Amino acid sequence: MKSWCAIFVLLLVLAVPASAGPVLIYRGTGKQVGKSQGIISGPINQFILIDPATRQVATIAYYSRNKQKFIFELGPAVYRRVTFTLDTGKTSAVYHQSIVLEANADFANATRALRGTVAPLKVSSQSGVPFLHPATLSGLELFFSDTEDSKVSSEIRYNVTFQQKRSIEANDANQTIQQVFNSLIDELAEKGFE
């Protein structure tokens, strides 16, 4: 009898469609710090996507140089989040992600840290309950690589703001972070960024 109950519960779980969690879309600008040989140099525009349900973050940086349009993307990957109380009594959140690639003597490392004060955000038109995440984020990205072909270092600092309209449209359509990421890439490709 217990096995039939377990099978029934499993069938009920499988019958319920998987729903995407709320995706938070941020947009802003940043710039490279210093004059190091960088992958992205000068001022840039940036999208940051956060999916708290799957604990993933994605970045799309786009910019123009010498009449050419460039796009640099880091697809959804897992992040770590810590919240703490500031002296003012407000709650702050920090998101951290680090990617390390190593093969033989070649090495590359990318680290991203985002920080902001928690505020109620409206993420869908159906939900009456606000979602508590930062409305603005300050970010820092460090990248360096040491390969046979090159040695590259880049530090980018930026500020991004929650895009309520875009987020509501994406969440009303029940899009995953990957779907939102792909649609933004397509949107930028239509504008000539590659």
Q: How far apart are CA 146 and CA 38, in angstroms?
A: 13
pLDDT of 34 reads: 66
| Average pLDDT of adjacent 10-residue blocks, the chain of 194 residues | 36 35 92 66 87 92 85 89 91 90 84 93 84 93 82 86 96 95 96 88
pLDDT of 179 reads: 97
Angle between helices 164-172 and 177-190 (to 10 degrees): 120
DSSP assignment of 87-127, as one string? TTS-EEEEEEEEEEEEETTEEEEEEEEEEEEEEEE---SS-
Tokens 């190593």 — which residue?
102
Q: Is the pTM of this model over 0.75?
A: yes
How many helical (H) and strand (E) elements, i.e. helices and strands, does the chain have? Answer: 3, 10
pLDDT of 35 reads: 62
**What is the CB-side half-sphere exposure of residue 50 using CA atoms within 13 A?**
29
Q: Cα dist. 134→92, 116, 150 in Å? A: 8, 5, 37
Tokens 């040491």 — which residue?
146
